[in-house]
Structure 1
């Protein structure tokens, strides 16, 4: 409520020279968006990246947002509630997802529908670019991409090998893959990274940080890489704080091309380490019976670290193939599986 006095200069006798005024302005919400345009580039086709959009209420009444729609299916927004209620002077941030289905540039718009009386529908431009990249992470230590995206039976102290595969990599003189993780649950095992055949001409490098590690290769001299297959392997060890699940995520891939220079590609490759299930079987050769052929394989791995192909022999999960594993194997010898 506002009040004021209107003064009037006149020469009429007996008529007041001032009038008291009171009134209230119309309360209404006022929607504003920040940023006023959104764009993301170099996203791997099929991957999903997310970026923030903040909705502000600059008005004097409650703002109610009914929906955020996109003109292109590659862009989407999932509201945390069926209707967003934003008080005057407050704001709410939502996440915009971009999932390119093909390589190339894409433009469109997002439209926010609300009870703002002046702009029932407010739109902003969005743009994105997809690039071809077929990258995968495999938790099966066997040779080749087994497409195993989860590993069970993980407990503190257990080491898990991750293999990174690529298809149709360009001719490169260097590459970087960032693997993000929860450092309270797992850690990168120093010295575990090795380049694969796709990058055989490159020297392997690892740069561990608190909650991610960057692995890659660089040319020393005239070495190059490219093609399809194993890009590299690395290992993680479950920490004392590990429980239930830890997710390893690859959000970024960088090529240093022989021609074309440096290219950063955003992606979203994920694998999960879980404490559930995952019990290893002593039927190492998979013939349905724990027999002498399994014993011969076990004997050849006895005394080794449980890394790579030898991880399947670590039946007690202590990171080494030793007597604990032998006793577990002996208890199952002769049984059908």
Structure 2
């Protein structure tokens, strides 16, 4: 027992040791705070104290290790270690060296501090003067060992230690622990004179094996500074534990004499010691497990295959008994069942009718029809198709299905005319209960109207007053359904049309509209014909009309008018070209002349550039194209100068954006989410199963799909899995 600390552990063993080193503490009163000194000054003090300890202990300076110097005067923690010099086999032990040091300090304490001061003065006289070192006090750190015992992983060991304040004043005993799993509670004891306190050394088991650490106890008694306790503990492996993946195996029906059916279950050992298992079938011997004796290593699994081979056309029930060495767990059992059956064919047809709904004329809609044989003998028969010629089948004639086999037939409907269409698919078989089945087929052909109009403007030129100018335009229906709509003439009363109001064109039919211009006075006239239709892509088309009445007294001046002041193309896929048009109209009484120039992004082009001339009452059409090459917005300008004194320069502003056409899924914050492989706006287990199917593939794999290569490095690996895991569970919206 050492003064200042009593060691009396609970539920642990303690033993004294002769350590390979002596740990000690020396307190030297000083007029400085060590931690506030410069690094160089701290190094000088450390070296000087170490040299003087070595000299007093009568050992080489290499055997003195200064662990730390703390504030509170100069609190020096140091060790005297064994000699590792092979040429000094008779070197004194650390214990003998410490005894020499104690004797020297007790005999001549002032000499030690004077020697230290002189050493420091040689390197830094001002520092030596500032230190004002006083008589040192030295004390050995008592060392002992505590073994806390054995425990399973997840458990805890605890030993209680006691300490007594042997001083005449209050004292604080500081306690700390080092080493994996070790801790102390509390971290300090506040004790009055002669008062006793206790603390716990705690070990928390997180892994198997032998563990060691150190508990350091420090008192305020400079002559008896405390203990270093070496603590040890052992964590034992967990005993075997059994888990079985199922408690019942129900086999499908099996024809007697066929190949046995098999099913597999898994025995898992969540412990760390081998699990020994024996399997025995109780009951009908039509069930066979393989293997019957198993050793499952700790943390491992073992698969057991059970086969079913019925010997009669009846139902069988047995149980599989699982004996094992897992403690505190009774033997387990798995219920086994299966039925032997006789050979009978049976037709299974999920659909009795297929309705194709509305299908556009010229297109083809397909549906699948599956014939199954859940019976126990081969299913045979014929397939025939009757009714409208717009239906076809991928298989007609004889068919044969073995037991459990399915046959998928692709039925197609390709209407050539508007209207309803019906047919029937007749399936005969050797099923004694259903020798003939009929599947009704129905659908409706739907044509699509498509308007064709070549002219976008008609210019009548200059027409003398009281004379008539005549032109025509043609509407045609190139679609597969009736084209219907209205024709409306608007603008100056000098224009007339041969057809106005409602119209209807059958597929392939055309309608010619005669337009007349009858000026009653000199000057420009403008009008338009608006053609509406049931063509979803061109529901309204406008043909601009322009003409000029001329007489001998009219002033001859040009007058420009533009059909468009701006043309916006919107989003256009990169690599594709969008087109639009604009028209220059001459509403004056003299030839309109000028230049057309295009500026801005090179993605725009115009069919007319340079000089132009438009006769009186005529129209010049400019075809404009936009062909983006990047995913950016583009702008351009068509500048038109003319001899119109009032509008000598006009512009048409062009705009458009390139688009990749690729949609991305983003969360509520606008961050792109990856891993939604099924495109349902959520990264979930369905996506995980798809990812797992592609895990490990690379560009050289036959089933390579780059959609799962999230980092685009040519292989689907753990880097892609980590990216997938980061977004797992997120919701997103496609943009």
TM-score, structure 1 length as denominator? 0.40
| Structure with bigger RCO (C-alpha 8 Å, 6+ apart) | 1
Bigger Rg, structure 1 or 2: 2
TM-score, structure 2 length as denominator? 0.20
